[in-house]
Amino acid sequence: MAEAFRKSVPELPRFFISGAIGSAAFWLLNELSVKNMPAFMPEPITSAFFVSYLISIWFQHFLHEKLVYGWVQSYWSGVFSTYTGYSLALVLSPPINYALVNFADLDATGAWLGSLIITGIGNYFLLNFLMKSSKGKKKAKK
72 and 138 in contact (C-beta within 8 Å)? yes
State pTM to two decimals: 0.72
96 and 55 in contact (C-beta within 8 Å)? no
Q: How many Å apart are CA 30 and CA 41, to the nearest integer? A: 15
Query: In the prediction, which pLDDT does 49 show?
Result: 76
Query: In the prediction, which pLDDT does 134 show?
Result: 52
- Among 132, 7, 23, smallest CA distance to 78 is for 132
109-118 residue pLDDT tens: 788 788 889 9
pLDDT band at 25 (very low <50, low <70, confident <90, very high): very high
- How many Cα atoms are found within 13 Å in the side-chain-facing hemisphere of 49? 10
Q: How far is CA 49 from CA 2, 33, 109, in A?
A: 30, 8, 14
Query: In the prediction, which pLDDT does 101 show?
Result: 85
Q: Where are the domains of the chain?
A: 19-141
Maximum distance among all Cα pairs of the chain, rounded to whole angstroms: 53
In terms of phi and psi (left: phi > 0; alpha: psi -120 to 50; beta: otherwise), the region of 74 is beta
99 and 77 in contact (C-beta within 8 Å)? no
The CA radius of gyration of the chain, in Å to the nearest whole number, is: 16
Query: In the prediction, which pLDDT does 140 show?
Result: 45
Query: In the prediction, which pLDDT does 130 show?
Result: 84
- Say yes or no to pLDDT of 63 above 80: yes
The rounded percent of the chain whose pLDDT value lies above 70 is 90
3-state secondary structure of 37: coil
Task: Summarize the confidence of residues 43-52 as an average pLDDT.
Answer: 75
